Amino acid sequence: MYFIICPAVTGGQLFHQISDPAAQALYISTFQSGWFVESMWTQTLVIHMIRTPKIPFIQSRASAPVMLLTFTGIAVLTFIPFTPLGTALGLSTLPAVYFAWLALTIVCYMVLATALKKLYIRKYGELL
């Protein structure tokens, strides 16, 4: 976000290169918005990653209410930066390209969590 998304929103410069206070504020709020959304996605999905030794969503699914709550929560939290509440919290809207980077980040995060989970199971014989 710091090197790609925020500069794209503020004219191609990194934070330390920006002299305009309004552009600096936009850089900061864009970064905070992106961090907020990414945190909500990763922290919500990691619950599914560590709840089973199997591959979540493919080999093992949580109950329907848990899945519904997970994806409803992700959707609601993703839209907060686009609402007046987001503005009141100092967040700003995210560009569409952010969501492509978010998808890549989430996939990498889930693959890494699965690999580490497999290593843990191999070492200790069980997940928990």
- Averages of pLDDT over runs of 10 residues in the chain (128 residues) are 91 92 95 96 91 87 92 96 96 95 95 92 88
The pTM is what? 0.86
What is the model's pLDDT at position 28? 96
What is the model's pLDDT at position 120? 93
Provide long-range contacts, Cβ within 8 A and 24+ apart, for 97-104: 97/5, 97/8, 98/1, 98/5, 98/34, 98/37, 101/1, 101/4, 101/5, 102/34, 102/37, 102/38, 102/41
What is the model's pLDDT at position 52? 86
DSSP secondary structure string for all residues of 38-84: HHHHHHHHHHHHHS-SS-BTTTB---HHHHHHHHHHHHHHHHGGGSH
What is the model's pLDDT at position 50? 87
Instruction: Provide the Cα torsion 53, 55, 58, 62; round to 10°.
Output: 50
Domain ranges, ordered by start, for the chain: 5-124
What is the model's pLDDT at position 1? 86
